Amino acid sequence: MDKRVLGDGGPELSVVGVGCNNFGSRLDADAAAAVVHAALDAGITHFDTAEIYGGGRSEEYLGAALASRRDDVVIATKFPPREGQYRPGALADHIRRSAEGSLRRLGTDRIDLYYQHFPDPDAPIEEVLETLDELVRAGKVLHVASSNFSARQIQRAQDVATGKGWTRFTGTQIHWSLLSRDVEESVVPAATAAGVGVVPYFPLASGMLTGKYRRGEELPAGSRLAGNADRAARLATGENFTKVEAFEAFAAERGHTVVELAIGWLLAQPSVASVIAGATSPEQITANAGRVWTMTSEEAGAISSLAG
């Protein structure tokens, strides 16, 4: 599988990564290990988890499944939002404790890519960046990044880090798919201008871009949308079904699936380094990463037009 460098000087990531948010919640340790091993067999080297996934079990299961293959991969994890009212130093202590906890659960001596999971509306970004720089200098973290930041927050973080001589964010993780494109207006351009690589999550729009949902049919039992009425109301609309049907026809004419189209289109965007897709089985790993569609600019443009 191809690899790309994340932003300016970030880690080299396989173009498809595994989102480990199901580990410890929908998947037990054995099922998680099966997914990890299938991903390794497919050439995936980018594994994305977080302290809050599965109450910490996601990190534990990932670390155990990688075992002797740990040095072959890039592990990305995230520290969660701080709890309680902000006071100077509180966030710094929180980040240090989170990093130590993640290192212990993952069974490793360093975090390859450490994300601020959500921006903190109260605490100054200076405290975040100074603490992350401290962790980098200590060798406990190799690269740092943001997640769910606005365009303004991305630029502010880069300006502060540059001015202080601290470690800069190399990437940002954002919700982006063919059915959710609002980030293209400001967030993606801001990231590109700041030298920050983009890692989209939810690329398959909770399964809408897999073909598993059909217009006029009941949502499959156990599916993401079947278990979330609000999300289903937002995504399983007539307009979206029309788009998905057009995507399926476009992909089929070229010998591809709609999953390959959804991931390939994101990878055709210049700012994107890797696309994170969750999986609950080895078969889903094969569907997500078995055949990556390297699109021409004409194909990507045509798909953008279909998406509207």
Instruction: Give residue 224's pLDDT.
Output: 78
Q: Does the pLDDT value for residue 83 go beyond 90?
A: no
Residues in the chain: 308
Burial class (CB in 10 A: 0-12, 13-18, 19+), 73: buried
Predicted confidence band at 28 (pLDDT cuts at 50, 70, 90)? very high
How far is Cα of residue 206 from the mean position of the Cα atoms in its chain? 14
Predicted confidence band at 219 (pLDDT cuts at 50, 70, 90)? confident
Catalytic residues: 53
- The span from the CA of 205 to the CA of 160, in Å, is 34
- The span from the CA of 13 to the CA of 24, in Å, is 24
The string of pLDDT tens digits covering residues 195-210 is: 999 999 999 998 999 9
C-alpha radius of gyration, the chain, whole number: 19
- The span from the CA of 151 to the CA of 155, in Å, is 6
Query: 3-class SS at 27?
Result: strand
Hey, what are 111's tokens?
């975090």
Domains and CATH numbers, the chain: 3-207+268-290 (3.20.20.100)
Identify whether the C-beta of residue 82 lies closer than 8 Å to the C-beta of residue 89: no
The residues facing 47 across adjacent strands are 18, 75
Instruction: Give residue 227's pLDDT.
Output: 77
The string of pLDDT tens digits covering residues 122-167 is: 889 999 999 999 999 999 999 999 999 999 999 999 999 999 999 9
Q: Given the structure tokens 């109450």, which residue do they identify?
A: 55
| Threshold 0.75, pTM exceeds | yes
Hey, what are 103's tokens?
């290192």
Hey, what are 171's tokens?
């990437």
- DSSP letter for 224, please: T
- The span from the CA of 12 to the CA of 125, in Å, is 26
Identify the residue with better confidence: 272 or 215: 272
